[in-house]
Amino acid sequence: MKITHFIRRDFLTVNPYSGINAVKNQVLERLAVVVQDDEDQFYGVLTINDIAHNPKTLLIDCLTIKELVNSELSVEDAILKMDTAKTDVLPVGENGKFVGLVFKNELYKYISEYNLELENVIKERTAALEEAIATKDLMFSIIAHDLKSPFNAILGFTGLLKNKVRTMDFEKAEKLICGMNSQARNTYNLLEDLLTWARDNSNKIA
């Protein structure tokens, strides 16, 4: 996510040669004010930390350098720059021109909410996956049980044919073969159902 969505454009502008006492309360209230002259010349951003570390008479003397970052900067990179500069606010520019402010607390809030949302999505997907695996295990158990009966029948039919094929009359042999064909068809249908179920559930999990 880019910081474009978090730029505050409703900033308060103060003259660089104003006295610090005249704007101190506004800085406390807004956390930061933009130091800019009547010709829109941008000088910097004044924060309460600037006032604390540089208790001068004029605003311009209290300022500390804060990098003008591009509005296309990512949230993570903006926070890294703030941590490096030890500041809670950075001025933002578009095409090299100052357009607004971005605050660390608002970026942290976004990341916290995003991580929470991502965590919820992961929990939902994990629950769905666990349910699918449990259903799969149950399905395989049922299929294995249902396959056992037709295979037993086929084994029985083939065993009779193997042992008595030379002495068995044609009608009895035909009956056994029809029984095997029926059981083989049942087994095939069960496997088709299993494959259909597997395809459907693969799509759901994906």
Task: Classify domain 119-205 at the CATH class level.
Answer: mainly alpha
Mean pLDDT, rounded, for 139-159:
74
Q: Please check whether residue 99 is in contact with residue 33, taking contact to mean a CB–CB distance below 8 angstroms.
A: no
3-109 matches 119-205 in fold: no
Question: Looking at residue 201, what is its pLDDT?
Answer: 66
CB atoms within 10 A of CB 107: 21
- pTM for the complete prediction? 0.59
Mean pLDDT, rounded, for 25-35:
90
Count Cβ neighbours within 10 Å for each residue of 148-176 and write b for 16 or more, e otherwise: eebeebbeebeebeeeeeeeeeeeeeeeb
pLDDT band at 139 (very low <50, low <70, confident <90, very high): confident
Query: Phi then psi for 10, rounded to 5 degrees?
Result: -95, 45
CB atoms within 10 A of CB 49: 17
Report for 57-66, 144-153, 197-206: range of highest mean pLDDT: 57-66
Mean pLDDT, rounded, for 129-140:
77
| Assigned architecture for domain 3-109 | Roll (3.10)
Task: Tell me the percentage of the chain whose pLDDT exceeds 70.
Answer: 96
**Phi-psi domain of 31 (left: phi exceeds 0; alpha: psi -120 through 50; beta: other):** left
Mean pLDDT, rounded, for 71-96:
92
Q: List CB contacts of 20: < 8 A, sequence separation 6 or more.
A: 51, 55, 56, 57, 58, 59, 62
